[in-house]
Amino acid sequence: MDNNGIIPCRPGERATLRVRSLEPYSSEFTSGQIGVLADIAEQFGSGFVHVTPRQTVEIPHIDRAALEGIMELLNKEGLYTGSSGTYLRNVAACSRWCLYNAIPMSNLAYKLNNLHADVALPGKTNISLSGCDFSCVRSRTSDIGVISRAEIELTDRKCKKCTLCVKEPLGCQVDAIRITDNGVIIDTDKCVRCGFCSNICRPGTISVQFRSFDIFVGGRGGIKPGEAVFYKRIQTEEEVIAEIARILGRYSKKAHEGERIGDMMERLGIKALEE
């Protein structure tokens, strides 16, 4: 790795550029940005781009002599190279367009990426933000994962027994709801606080009491996979941003070089993130 987002490729005089969008949403590309990426691939690369799992795009086989001009083209469109080495990897968010979102996460990803995009850390660090427990961006196998939650409650509005809240595709996925002659019963041990039932309950028998974020830490994929552990439940986006800054700060201070958050937790315990 010779620079943040400029990656060696074959043949040696060429480079692969790993490109992320920092404006307007770091988890999406505008049609204009896609056009610029296509033009650069066509003019200076191989005509191909590679879409990475972390919502960045790699443009391979770039002529290094053209790098300066390419950077100008990218930056004008809110595009930047990065997300490599020990720099914080692109903060990935699931789709803000998805019906299942308890809280859409694109805005949070945008803020975290713009705050920490150029921060070098002791080891590889991923942050992944999911709008519900389906965890499409794999929040539970990331160094820091966030999953948004909707805490539901039963109201005094009469259930019409439409059964939508217990049926596929939009009803409860974990069989936590029973419709009985005496009303609706929610099994709170089974409920994962996704809020799907409240989205489709027209009379409002089931509604959202409050929304929140669960933070998980210490997970990873790759050669030594491991599941993250639950760390904290938090109410607001601002608190999530502050908590993640604290976690990254303590990790930077206490981890050995090359150690990931999960490795550090194995050595020092989860309390290392608290103190």
Tokens encoding 269:
């315990």
Applying CB under 6 A, which part among 67-75, 161-169, 219-227, 243-251 lies near ligand SF4?
A: 161-169
Q: Is 162 in the site for ligand SF4 (CB under 6 A)?
A: yes
Write the binding mask 23 to 62 for ligand SF4: x where contact by CB under 6 A, - elsewhere. Answer: ----------------------------------------
Nearest one of 148, 154, 139 to 197, comparing CA atoms: 154
Q: Is 80 in the site for ligand SF4 (CB under 6 A)?
A: no
Q: Helices marked H in the chain — which ranges?
A: 31-44, 67-76, 106-116, 196-200, 237-254, 261-268
Task: Select 192 or 272, whichever has its Cβ closest to ligand SF4.
Answer: 192
Q: Is 161 in the site for ligand SF4 (CB under 6 A)?
A: yes
- Rounded to whole angstroms, the Cα distance separating 184 from 162 reads 12
Task: Select 26 or 84, whichever has its Cβ closest to ligand SF4.
Answer: 26
Q: Is 107 in the site for ligand SF4 (CB under 6 A)?
A: no
- Rounded to whole angstroms, the Cα distance separating 131 from 142 reads 15
Q: Using CB under 6 A, which of 94, 215, 247, 248 touches ligand SF4?
A: 94
- Rounded to whole angstroms, the Cα distance separating 173 from 153 reads 17
User: In the chain, what is the greatest distance between 2 CA atoms, to the nearest angstrom?
Assistant: 74
Q: Is 208 in the site for ligand SF4 (CB under 6 A)?
A: no
Q: Is 152 in the site for ligand SF4 (CB under 6 A)?
A: yes
Q: What are phi and psi of 17, to 5 degrees?
A: -100, 125
Amino acid sitting at position 8: P
Q: Could you tell me the smallest distance in angstroms from the CB atom of residue 152 to ligand SF4? A: 5
Going 225 to 226 to 231 to 236, the CA torsion angle's sign is: positive
Number of residues that bind ligand SF4 (CB under 6 A): 38
Task: By CB under 6 A, name the binding residues for ligand SF4.
Answer: 94-95, 98, 100-101, 130-132, 134-136, 152, 159-165, 172, 174, 176-177, 179, 184, 186, 191-197, 200-201, 203, 205-206
